[in-house]
Amino acid sequence: MTREIRITPSILNADFDHLDQEIAKIASVSDLIHLDVMDNIFVPNFTFDFENASEIIKGCPIGVDAHLMVSNVDEIGPRYAEIGCASVTIHAEASENIAKTLRAIRSQGARSGLAIKPNTSIDEYEQFSDLVDMFLIMTVEPGFGGQKFMSQMMEKVRAVRRVIGDRPIWLQVDGGISLETIEIAVEAGADTFVAGSAVFNSDDPANMVNALRSLAQKASS
């Protein structure tokens, strides 16, 4: 079956001093911009606080897919929805009330996302599928760009695809996605792809987004 493919480039490996120009390079060919928010508590790295992230979100020419790798996600998740993110993804490991936070994100008009780290099983989170517009299966340990794709996560992607079936819930993979790995993830059932270093370490980021999309579309048909 042919699935709709979405490419959501991560700006984690872009030049943070010239983010507007970096985003402009890929905006017209991307579905959403993936914004990695890290607090140096949930993950051992820091990217943006809410103020900085708000400025990026408000100035972004296309919708933002916020990936919140922060510990206070139940409080801050709905605020990211409120300021206009198209999609807000919380980590299951960080949330004390997943259902409530997912509902609050949706009620602010954003798509709700639920992410799990490589060592987290999907089993106890399948129950949230009615409250979720996207599952995110991490294919690296969250925290840094440029890590190696964990192909052993494809079993989990297949399991999530079985849970989703043909419901319009997106299935995103994040970490190590490149021209070498994207087809493996499509075959396992993913339809939404974060790519950071593959896009921004390339000489022509827009061209790389197009190349990833066309490879994924071929693999899905």
- 91 carries a ligand binding annotation: no
**Residue ranges with strand state E in the chain:** 6-7, 33-38, 64-69, 87-91, 111-116, 134-138, 170-174, 192-194
Distance CA 172, CA 151 (A): 14
Q: Which of 36, 65, 133, 191 is catalytic?
A: 36
Q: How far is the CB of 67 from ligand DX5 (least distance, A)?
A: 5
Q: Is 20 annotated as a binding residue?
A: no
Q: Contact with ligand DX5 (CB under 6 A): which of 14, 173, 177, 185?
A: 177
Q: How far apart are CA 194 and CA 200, in angstroms?
A: 12
77 is in an annotated binding site: no
Q: Pick what 113 binds: Zn ion, ligand DX5, none; C-beta below 5 to 8 Å, kind-dependent.
A: none
Interacting stretch for ligand DX5, rule CB under 6 A, among 20-28, 93-101, 119-127, 137-145? 137-145
| 176 binds ligand DX5 per the rule CB under 6 A | yes
| Under rule CB under 6 A, residue 95 binds ligand DX5 | no
User: Catalytic: 174?
Assistant: yes
Q: In what order do the strands lie in the sheet with 33-38?
A: 6-7, 192-194, 170-174, 134-138, 111-116, 87-91, 64-69, 33-38
Name 111's bridge partners.
Answer: 87
Q: Determine if residue 36 is labeled as part of a ligand binding site.
A: yes
Task: Decide if 36 is catalytic.
Answer: yes
Distance CA 54, CA 194 (A): 20
Chain contacts with ligand DX5 (rule: CB under 6 A): 10, 12-13, 34, 36, 67, 140, 142-143, 145-147, 174-177, 194-198
